[in-house]
Amino acid sequence: MATFILLHGSWHWGGCFGKVANLLAAQGHAVIAPDLASHGFDPTPTAAVTDIAVYAAPARAALETVSGKAILVGHSVGGATCTWLGELMAEKVAALVYLTGFMAPAGRSARDFVMTPTYLKDPAIVASQGMLRMGKEGLGVDLAKRDLVVGSLYSDCAERDIEVALANLVRVTPHAPFAAVSQATPGRYGRLPRHYIECLHDRALPLAVQREMQQAVPGATVHQLNSGHSPFLSQPEELAATLARIA
Protein backbone atom coordinates (compact mmCIF):
# COMPACT_ATOMS: atom_id res chain seq x y z
CA MET A 1 0.00 0.00 0.00
CA ALA A 2 1.12 3.54 -0.74
CA THR A 3 1.41 6.70 1.30
CA PHE A 4 -0.16 9.75 -0.31
CA ILE A 5 0.48 13.37 0.64
CA LEU A 6 -2.30 15.51 -0.84
CA LEU A 7 -1.42 19.18 -1.41
CA HIS A 8 -4.22 21.70 -1.79
CA GLY A 9 -4.32 24.70 -4.09
CA SER A 10 -5.03 28.39 -3.66
CA TRP A 11 -7.25 29.43 -0.74
CA HIS A 12 -8.03 25.82 0.18
CA TRP A 13 -7.16 23.58 3.12
CA GLY A 14 -6.06 19.98 3.57
CA GLY A 15 -9.55 18.84 4.53
CA CYS A 16 -10.86 19.58 1.04
CA PHE A 17 -9.49 16.13 0.16
CA GLY A 18 -11.60 14.42 2.85
CA LYS A 19 -13.72 12.33 0.48
CA VAL A 20 -10.74 11.11 -1.52
CA ALA A 21 -8.66 10.47 1.61
CA ASN A 22 -11.40 8.26 3.05
CA LEU A 23 -11.72 6.27 -0.17
CA LEU A 24 -7.96 5.70 -0.37
CA ALA A 25 -7.77 4.81 3.32
CA ALA A 26 -10.54 2.24 2.86
CA GLN A 27 -8.26 0.52 0.34
CA GLY A 28 -5.43 0.42 2.87
CA HIS A 29 -3.43 3.43 1.72
CA ALA A 30 -2.05 5.98 4.17
CA VAL A 31 -3.08 9.57 3.49
CA ILE A 32 -1.76 12.90 4.80
CA ALA A 33 -3.38 16.17 3.76
CA PRO A 34 -1.57 19.06 5.46
CA ASP A 35 -2.71 22.66 5.64
CA LEU A 36 -0.02 24.65 3.86
CA ALA A 37 1.31 27.78 5.53
CA SER A 38 -1.38 30.42 6.25
CA HIS A 39 -4.21 28.10 5.13
CA GLY A 40 -6.73 26.05 7.05
CA PHE A 41 -5.66 25.70 10.68
CA ASP A 42 -2.04 26.65 10.01
CA PRO A 43 -1.32 29.76 12.14
CA THR A 44 1.36 31.30 9.93
CA PRO A 45 0.45 34.90 9.01
CA THR A 46 0.16 35.47 5.29
CA ALA A 47 2.80 38.20 5.44
CA ALA A 48 5.28 35.74 6.95
CA VAL A 49 5.13 33.44 3.92
CA THR A 50 8.07 34.94 2.11
CA ASP A 51 9.11 32.02 -0.09
CA ILE A 52 8.19 28.48 -1.13
CA ALA A 53 10.21 26.98 1.74
CA VAL A 54 7.97 28.72 4.29
CA TYR A 55 4.79 28.00 2.35
CA ALA A 56 5.55 24.30 1.86
CA ALA A 57 7.04 23.67 5.32
CA PRO A 58 3.99 21.68 6.53
CA ALA A 59 4.24 19.41 3.50
CA ARG A 60 7.97 18.95 4.03
CA ALA A 61 7.36 18.06 7.67
CA ALA A 62 4.75 15.51 6.61
CA LEU A 63 7.12 13.92 4.11
CA GLU A 64 9.87 13.72 6.71
CA THR A 65 7.60 11.68 8.99
CA VAL A 66 6.90 9.05 6.34
CA SER A 67 8.69 5.73 6.65
CA GLY A 68 9.88 5.03 3.13
CA LYS A 69 8.54 7.04 0.22
CA ALA A 70 5.33 8.93 -0.51
CA ILE A 71 3.34 9.87 -3.58
CA LEU A 72 2.85 13.64 -3.72
CA VAL A 73 -0.36 14.90 -5.27
CA GLY A 74 -0.52 18.63 -5.99
CA HIS A 75 -3.79 20.28 -6.96
CA SER A 76 -3.58 23.54 -8.90
CA VAL A 77 -0.82 25.68 -7.35
CA GLY A 78 -0.12 22.73 -5.04
CA GLY A 79 1.87 21.56 -8.03
CA ALA A 80 4.55 24.13 -7.16
CA THR A 81 5.04 22.37 -3.82
CA CYS A 82 5.25 19.02 -5.64
CA THR A 83 8.04 20.35 -7.82
CA TRP A 84 9.92 21.91 -4.92
CA LEU A 85 9.77 18.80 -2.76
CA GLY A 86 10.52 16.55 -5.71
CA GLU A 87 13.85 18.28 -6.17
CA LEU A 88 14.64 18.87 -2.50
CA MET A 89 13.67 15.43 -1.20
CA ALA A 90 13.76 13.20 -4.27
CA GLU A 91 14.92 10.22 -2.22
CA LYS A 92 11.63 10.35 -0.25
CA VAL A 93 9.30 10.65 -3.26
CA ALA A 94 7.81 7.62 -5.03
CA ALA A 95 5.99 9.70 -7.65
CA LEU A 96 4.68 13.18 -8.37
CA VAL A 97 1.07 13.67 -9.42
CA TYR A 98 -0.14 16.99 -10.80
CA LEU A 99 -3.92 17.23 -10.45
CA THR A 100 -4.74 19.98 -12.94
CA GLY A 101 -1.61 21.33 -11.30
CA PHE A 102 1.01 23.91 -12.12
CA MET A 103 4.07 22.07 -13.42
CA ALA A 104 6.84 24.51 -14.32
CA PRO A 105 10.16 23.58 -15.91
CA ALA A 106 13.51 24.66 -14.50
CA GLY A 107 13.87 28.42 -14.56
CA ARG A 108 10.14 29.13 -14.76
CA SER A 109 7.32 29.58 -12.26
CA ALA A 110 3.60 28.91 -12.02
CA ARG A 111 3.04 32.61 -12.63
CA ASP A 112 4.65 32.28 -16.05
CA PHE A 113 1.74 30.10 -17.14
CA VAL A 114 -1.00 32.51 -16.07
CA MET A 115 0.54 35.46 -17.86
CA THR A 116 0.25 33.92 -21.31
CA PRO A 117 -2.24 34.61 -24.13
CA THR A 118 -3.53 31.04 -23.81
CA TYR A 119 -4.57 31.66 -20.20
CA LEU A 120 -5.62 35.29 -20.33
CA LYS A 121 -7.79 34.90 -23.45
CA ASP A 122 -9.67 31.80 -22.28
CA PRO A 123 -13.36 32.75 -22.00
CA ALA A 124 -13.74 31.16 -18.55
CA ILE A 125 -10.75 33.09 -17.24
CA VAL A 126 -12.03 36.35 -18.68
CA ALA A 127 -15.38 35.71 -17.00
CA SER A 128 -13.83 35.00 -13.60
CA GLN A 129 -11.44 37.93 -13.35
CA GLY A 130 -13.78 39.93 -11.15
CA MET A 131 -13.33 37.49 -8.27
CA LEU A 132 -9.57 37.98 -8.02
CA ARG A 133 -7.75 40.62 -5.99
CA MET A 134 -4.00 41.03 -6.40
CA GLY A 135 -2.52 42.53 -3.25
CA LYS A 136 0.76 43.14 -1.49
CA GLU A 137 0.60 39.85 0.43
CA GLY A 138 -0.77 37.61 -2.29
CA LEU A 139 -3.58 36.62 -4.60
CA GLY A 140 -6.97 37.24 -3.02
CA VAL A 141 -10.39 35.85 -3.79
CA ASP A 142 -13.48 38.00 -3.29
CA LEU A 143 -15.96 35.60 -1.68
CA ALA A 144 -18.70 38.19 -2.14
CA LYS A 145 -18.51 37.30 -5.85
CA ARG A 146 -20.08 33.94 -5.10
CA ASP A 147 -21.31 33.14 -8.60
CA LEU A 148 -17.89 33.84 -10.10
CA VAL A 149 -16.09 31.74 -7.47
CA VAL A 150 -18.46 28.83 -7.92
CA GLY A 151 -18.34 29.04 -11.69
CA SER A 152 -14.55 28.99 -11.67
CA LEU A 153 -13.66 26.56 -8.88
CA TYR A 154 -16.77 24.42 -8.34
CA SER A 155 -18.59 24.36 -11.67
CA ASP A 156 -19.66 20.70 -11.37
CA CYS A 157 -19.94 20.39 -7.57
CA ALA A 158 -23.01 19.71 -5.47
CA GLU A 159 -24.46 22.61 -3.50
CA ARG A 160 -23.57 21.07 -0.13
CA ASP A 161 -19.92 20.69 -1.15
CA ILE A 162 -19.85 24.24 -2.44
CA GLU A 163 -21.12 25.60 0.87
CA VAL A 164 -18.54 23.62 2.85
CA ALA A 165 -15.74 24.78 0.57
CA LEU A 166 -16.72 28.44 0.68
CA ALA A 167 -16.88 28.34 4.47
CA ASN A 168 -13.31 27.06 4.70
CA LEU A 169 -11.47 29.15 2.11
CA VAL A 170 -8.93 31.72 3.22
CA ARG A 171 -9.12 35.02 1.38
CA VAL A 172 -5.47 35.29 0.32
CA THR A 173 -2.89 32.82 -0.91
CA PRO A 174 0.66 34.22 -0.60
CA HIS A 175 2.63 35.04 -3.73
CA ALA A 176 5.25 32.43 -2.82
CA PRO A 177 3.92 29.33 -4.63
CA PHE A 178 3.11 31.32 -7.77
CA ALA A 179 6.46 33.11 -7.84
CA ALA A 180 8.70 30.15 -6.92
CA VAL A 181 11.09 29.47 -9.78
CA SER A 182 11.56 25.77 -10.38
CA GLN A 183 15.03 24.52 -9.53
CA ALA A 184 14.36 21.06 -10.94
CA THR A 185 17.39 19.12 -12.13
CA PRO A 186 17.55 16.03 -14.34
CA GLY A 187 19.38 14.05 -11.68
CA ARG A 188 16.78 14.51 -8.94
CA TYR A 189 13.36 15.77 -9.98
CA GLY A 190 13.92 14.50 -13.50
CA ARG A 191 14.33 10.89 -12.37
CA LEU A 192 11.00 10.73 -10.52
CA PRO A 193 7.91 9.11 -12.07
CA ARG A 194 5.45 11.87 -12.93
CA HIS A 195 1.74 11.83 -13.66
CA TYR A 196 -0.56 14.57 -14.88
CA ILE A 197 -4.31 14.33 -14.29
CA GLU A 198 -6.11 16.55 -16.75
CA CYS A 199 -9.48 17.97 -15.72
CA LEU A 200 -11.19 18.32 -19.06
CA HIS A 201 -13.74 20.96 -18.07
CA ASP A 202 -11.59 23.05 -15.76
CA ARG A 203 -12.62 26.71 -15.73
CA ALA A 204 -9.85 27.88 -13.40
CA LEU A 205 -6.83 26.26 -15.06
CA PRO A 206 -7.94 25.71 -18.65
CA LEU A 207 -7.12 22.46 -20.41
CA ALA A 208 -5.01 24.29 -22.99
CA VAL A 209 -2.80 25.66 -20.20
CA GLN A 210 -2.58 22.25 -18.54
CA ARG A 211 -1.25 20.93 -21.83
CA GLU A 212 1.18 23.82 -22.30
CA MET A 213 2.82 22.79 -19.03
CA GLN A 214 2.96 19.17 -20.10
CA GLN A 215 4.77 20.26 -23.25
CA ALA A 216 7.15 22.37 -21.18
CA VAL A 217 7.92 19.45 -18.84
CA PRO A 218 7.49 16.36 -21.03
CA GLY A 219 7.47 12.80 -19.80
CA ALA A 220 4.46 12.63 -17.48
CA THR A 221 1.93 9.82 -17.80
CA VAL A 222 -1.39 11.51 -18.59
CA HIS A 223 -4.74 10.63 -17.02
CA GLN A 224 -8.07 12.37 -17.57
CA LEU A 225 -11.10 13.22 -15.49
CA ASN A 226 -14.30 14.50 -17.04
CA SER A 227 -14.51 17.17 -14.34
CA GLY A 228 -14.12 20.80 -13.44
CA HIS A 229 -11.37 22.25 -11.26
CA SER A 230 -12.25 20.43 -8.02
CA PRO A 231 -12.71 16.70 -8.68
CA PHE A 232 -11.89 15.92 -5.05
CA LEU A 233 -15.40 17.26 -4.39
CA SER A 234 -17.28 16.49 -7.60
CA GLN A 235 -15.75 13.14 -8.60
CA PRO A 236 -13.98 11.68 -5.54
CA GLU A 237 -14.53 8.06 -6.59
CA GLU A 238 -13.01 8.62 -10.02
CA LEU A 239 -10.08 10.58 -8.58
CA ALA A 240 -9.41 7.99 -5.88
CA ALA A 241 -9.50 5.23 -8.48
CA THR A 242 -6.99 7.09 -10.63
CA LEU A 243 -4.65 7.62 -7.68
CA ALA A 244 -4.97 3.96 -6.66
CA ARG A 245 -3.94 2.90 -10.16
CA ILE A 246 -0.92 5.18 -9.96
CA ALA A 247 0.06 3.58 -6.63
Q: Residue 127: what pLDDT?
A: 86
Please state, as a whole number, how many other Cβ atoms lie within 10 Å of the Cβ of residue 123.
9
Q: How far apart are CA 57 and CA 68, in angstroms?
A: 19
Q: Residue 54: what pLDDT?
A: 98
Q: Residue 197: what pLDDT?
A: 98
Q: How far apart are CA 207 and CA 212, in angstroms?
A: 9
Domains and CATH numbers, the chain: 3-246 (3.40.50.1820)
Please state, as a whole number, how many other Cβ atoms lie within 10 Å of the Cβ of residue 91.
7
Q: Residue 129: what pLDDT?
A: 83
Q: Residue 183: what pLDDT?
A: 97
Q: Do 180 and 51 meet the contact criterion of CB atoms below 8 Å apart?
A: yes
Regions in the chain scoring below 70 on pLDDT:
none
Q: Do 104 and 128 meet the contact criterion of CB atoms below 8 Å apart?
A: no
DSSP for 55-104, written as a single string: HTHHHHHHHHHSSS-EEEEEETTHHHHHHHHHHHTGGGEEEEEEES---P
φ, ψ (nearest 5 deg) of residue 51: -160, 175
Element (H, E) at 246: helix 236-246
Q: Residue 49: what pLDDT?
A: 98
pTM above 0.95, yes or no: yes
